Structure 1
Amino acid sequence: MKRLLWPLLVLAALLAVNLFFTPSFFSVEMKEGHLYGSLIDILRFGAPLILVSLGMTLVIATGGIDLSVGSVVAISGALACLRISEDGGVFSAVVLALGLCVLLGLWNGFLVAGVGIQPIIATLILMVAGRGLAQLITDGQIITVNSPSYKVIGGGYLLTVPFGILLVLVVLGVTAFLTRRLALGVLIESVGGNAEASRLAGIRARGIVITVYAFAALCAGVAGLMISSNVSSADGNNAGLWIELDAILAVVIGGTSLSGGRFSLGGTVLGALIIQTLTTTIYSVGVPPETTLLVKALVVAAVCLLQSPKFRDKVFRRAGPPSSPRPAAEEKVRVTA
């Protein structure tokens, strides 16, 4: 909990800034049986990023990285919309899109764990090729669909709450159960801490690495469905663009080390909410669009610095415990010698 203190304070500060510029920021209303409000919008629009970040957390926990999740987001939405535009079958479109995403994740895991390619290179291959594949699926055009059933995934409501929020809660709950209630989380951390030692201990490190990459691609695929269904269209060129960088930032802000080992799912969710709230704050404050990315980078850098104990020690000049004086007898013996 201690390592989440600064992210919590930053999130509270961002919410306070929004409240200053928008007095009704915290208000939540019920309209036509649905919940509406700025806080609900942050959760709804931040849902895809939370999903991608959850998958990225497990990948980073094994000591890897996945730069291809943005392209997988685009592929998922493009394939689902293409399928729906051809025969209108939402269920088959979703299954086909998520199935392809899992295969892409298995490919990443095979390159990393099976072939031994560095994760940043292995996923960079799919990052470039995947974006091209998404544009091939859409034929370089924006595919528009008109399906109320598909619209529910990213823009629908269930029990007065946006369906995307409920979907994120389900994925988060399943992930937390598998990694914290079962031994999977310990195995992932052991592989990330020392892959060779875990292998010698009898842990199938390759299988775990392949599994987490497949899970990351699955999360990205669901996020792609949410993004495309929310706007009822698929854009192979811009969908999910740079979401992989936001996901990595969310994981780092949440306290997970890029070197692998221990990870925090709750911290990742908090980091994703910070990024989404920051985006909302930038628009509400009226920051010029051309400086949005710069402001976002500065805030994220400040959060990461505040999380560093060494940085806080230097800036706030926290003095260490005073050294105990050397006993006189010990000093005399030292001088005599």
Structure 2
Amino acid sequence: MKPFNTLYENMAQKKLLWPSVGIIIILIFNAFFTPGFFNIRMQDGHLFGSLIDILNRGTPILIIALGMTLVIAMEGIDISVGSVLAISASLAAFLMQKHVPFVFALGAGLAIGALCGFWNGLLVAKLKIQPMIATLILLTVGRGIAQLISGGQIITISNKAYRFVGGGYLLGIPFSVVIAAFVFLALYFITRKTAFGLFLESVGSNRVSSEFTGIHASRIMLTVYIICGFCAGLAGIIVSSNITGADSNNAGLWFELDAILAVVIGGTSMRGGRFYLGGTVLGALFIQTMTTTIYTLGVPSESVMVVKAVVIILVSLVQSEVLTLKLNSLFHRKSEKKVLVNETTI
């Protein structure tokens, strides 16, 4: 019982418990009600199956959510990531259609995403506009910019190198999953192996006190928004590559909501401070696993958002600090009773 208690406490402290439980419950449900859900086969050197689809299709949300984690840790928010995704996808696809070399088109798509993040960071960090209002500007204007780039049309892409980014495979694994893993490792190194992560949590906990200690809070905030914009741009490249085209009207639609939910489900508080990149990964996988399950069961598309909302509300409720403290107290009481029984027996 003691090892289990220790495992529970460690997972609860790292905010990994409830998203893990949520994923396990959905997987158990699929084991009984979705035949062949766990089947993975190798075909033409590529892995195929529902689990592979979850990893592949959840990659854009995961990458955006990782960037969003840093923004929320700073007590900010970025609701423009869906529009930034559309801008990056449209620009990269437009350049590819004009026969611009792949490297330059890819770089332009990533650069415009980072530039959008710089714009949001400038409004928040320098002009001190509330994050919701500052990013609402680009949320509103962004899709208009994307439509101007694409001419209001769906741009199709035939370049093999570009299509490989979101639709290719490396050693049987979707290449987009490899990209997501690289992004996670890069952000983990930056935030956990350098002073940047400490400064970020300090600014998120108390910006004024951080500035008194010599931390340049505005630089941290600006950097975080640039990273978030870059992640949204990268997700846009993956999405457009996967569908071999760019749809400025629908690309990244509601992605900002799924990204924020993934961060919150992963244990990062909207009040800023401590953040959990590993929890965000689990949160994104939970959302994608749930979405895949819903579609597999044939739930009508108009009901998908309702089902997702109900499940996410339940997960958020059981993730509350009050419930966690009560469960911790319960485990401690059981352990103490077992110790007393053993001492009495002796």
| Letter in structure 1 aligned against 2:131 | P
Match of 2:85 in 1: 73
Q: TM-score, normalized by length of structure 1? A: 0.92
Of residues 105, 118, 124, the one that matches 1:112 is 124
CA shift for structure 1 position 87 = 1.4
CA shift for structure 1 position 318 = 6.8
Note if contact 1:47-1:165 (Cα within 8 Å) is conserved in structure 2: yes
Of residues 196, 214, 228, the one that matches 1:202 is 214
| Letter in structure 2 aligned against 1:80 | A
| Letter in structure 1 aligned against 2:105 | A
Q: TM-score, normalized by length of structure 2? A: 0.89
Report % sequence identity. 53
CA shift for structure 1 position 310 = 2.7
21-30 or 70-79, larger mean C-alpha shift: 21-30
Of residues 286, 294, 298, the one that matches 1:286 is 298
CA shift for structure 1 position 309 = 3.4
**Looking at CA atoms only, which structure, 1 or 2, has the larger radius of gyration?**
1
CA shift for structure 1 position 21 = 2.3
Is 1:258 the equivalent of 2:270? yes
| Letter in structure 2 aligned against 1:98 | L
CA shift for structure 1 position 4 = 1.6
Describe the SS at the equivalent of 1:87: coil
Match of 1:298 in 2: 310
Paired with 2:308 and 2:201, the residues of 1 have a C-alpha distance of 30
Of residues 237, 256, 280, the one that matches 1:268 is 280
225-234 or 301-310, larger mean C-alpha shift: 301-310
Match of 1:242 in 2: 254
Match of 1:34 in 2: 46
Paired with 1:181 and 1:309, the residues of 2 have a C-alpha distance of 28
Paired with 1:161 and 1:311, the residues of 2 have a C-alpha distance of 38
Note if contact 1:11-1:277 (Cα within 8 Å) is conserved in structure 2: yes
| Letter in structure 2 aligned against 1:281 | T
Paired with 2:330 and 2:278, the residues of 1 have a C-alpha distance of 29
188-197 or 19-28, larger mean C-alpha shift: 19-28
Change (3 A) 1:88 1:21: farther
Runs of at least 4 residues of structure 1 off by over 6 A? Answer: 312-315, 317-321
Of residues 177, 182, 186, the one that matches 2:198 is 186
CA shift for structure 1 position 313 = 7.7
Note if contact 2:34-2:297 (Cα within 8 Å) is conserved in structure 1: no
59-68 or 88-97, larger mean C-alpha shift: 88-97
Paired with 2:320 and 2:23, the residues of 1 have a C-alpha distance of 17
Note if contact 1:18-1:284 (Cα within 8 Å) is conserved in structure 2: no
Of residues 85, 95, 102, the one that matches 2:114 is 102
Change (3 A) 1:105 1:8: same
Match of 2:154 in 1: 142
Paired with 1:319 and 1:52, the residues of 2 have a C-alpha distance of 36
Note if contact 2:167-2:241 (Cα within 8 Å) is conserved in structure 1: yes
Note if contact 2:166-2:242 (Cα within 8 Å) is conserved in structure 1: yes
Match of 2:4 in 1: none
Paired with 2:331 and 2:276, the residues of 1 have a C-alpha distance of 30
Paired with 2:271 and 2:65, the residues of 1 have a C-alpha distance of 16
Note if contact 1:17-1:281 (Cα within 8 Å) is conserved in structure 2: no
What are the residue-to-residue correspondences of 1:84-103 with 2, within 5 Å?
84-103=96-115
The CA RMSD measured in Å over matched residues stands at: 1.8
Paired with 1:245 and 1:281, the residues of 2 have a C-alpha distance of 19
Match of 2:179 in 1: 167
Paired with 1:146 and 1:312, the residues of 2 have a C-alpha distance of 51
Note if contact 1:21-1:284 (Cα within 8 Å) is conserved in structure 2: no
Number of aligned residue pairs: 320
Note if contact 1:18-1:285 (Cα within 8 Å) is conserved in structure 2: no
| Letter in structure 2 aligned against 1:224 | G
| CA shift digits 1:56-80 (9 cap, x unpaired) | 0000000100011000100011000
Describe the SS at the equivalent of 1:301: helix
Unpaired runs of 5+ in structure 2? 1-10, 334-346
